[in-house]
Amino acid sequence: MIGERINPTGRKAFQAQLQAGDLAQLDDDVAEQVAGGADMLDVNVGDPLADEIALMRAAVTRVQELTDLPLVIDSSVIEALEAGLAAYEGKALVNSVTGEDERLEAILPIVARHGAAVIGLANDDEIPMEPKRRLEVARKIVSAAGDHGIPPEDVVIDPLAMPVGAEPRAVTLFVETLELLRDELGVNTTCGASNTSFGLPGRHVLGAGFLAIAASHGLTSAIMDARSEVCVEGVRAADFLLGHDEWGARWIAAHRAKQAAAQA
């Protein structure tokens, strides 16, 4: 579970704070996601009116002072990625690279130089709908990463979760792509899980259902709202039921922690 909250998209107050160079909001964002059960945290401070490079450097440092959880350095600005990686202590996950040649050649050397892992989006100059075409792009990314000394286990492919409200086949195409990636490439996978329910009511319930379905078809991680109890419990339940949580150890531990918190 990769917490998605450190992101200014749709957060006008946070955008204004970033433009003023104020990162105080990170304290609450980190605490809420850690309490919710996040395993990693995505860090995105991209705002067109802010100094994203300086902010990324400062944000990575601040988040590492607040938690030991590993981080995802998330930016479309190459210089911001490099700044975040330079500030990071440990092995980061870079979000993200696409299948366009120029992006691969710009980002993969940076990932390799810092010993990081990378998320590869299964699109190039267009967003393909057909699962086999997405597989082709993913295969290209894995191959290009290998040319830069990045092993397949350090490439996490995003099969492209899209809004089901705009495309009724979005989830079925997603899971078909997942199966192809699992069977033919054997790579780890992730996605922006909240994309699926965009514009619809009951987003957390839809998210929980989507994550459970995706896990059953091979999804190994998701960038998601780790503050949402229904989504987090949906993931934990899927892990248990699919045999990823042997004897339900994590499921039971989480239940006991919730009971202890309620009693306190």
The two beta strands, 40-43 and 71-74, are: parallel
pLDDT of 263 reads 94
CATH number of 2-263: 3.20.20.20
pLDDT of 212 reads 97
Shortest CA distance to 89 belongs to which of 113, 107, 114? 114
Averaged pLDDT, 203-216: 98
pTM: 0.96
Mind listing the pLDDT tens digit for each residue in 101-123? 999 999 999 999 999 999 999 99
Strand blocks (E) in 122-239: 155-158, 188-189, 223-224
pLDDT of 257 reads 92
- For 124, other C-beta atoms within 10 Å of its C-beta total 18
CB 163 within 8 A of CB 169: no
pLDDT of 142 reads 98
Position 162 confidence tier, pLDDT thresholds 50, 70, 90: very high
pLDDT of 35 reads 95
Residues 26 and 59: their CA atoms lie apart, in Å, by 8
Domain ranges (residues) in the chain: 2-263
Helix, strand, coil content of the chain in percent (nearest 5): 55, 10, 35
Averaged pLDDT, 58-64: 98
Mind listing the pLDDT tens digit for each residue in 191-200? 999 999 999 9
Averaged pLDDT, 8-33: 98
Mean pLDDT, all residues of the chain: 97
Averaged pLDDT, 77-98: 98
pLDDT of 7 reads 98
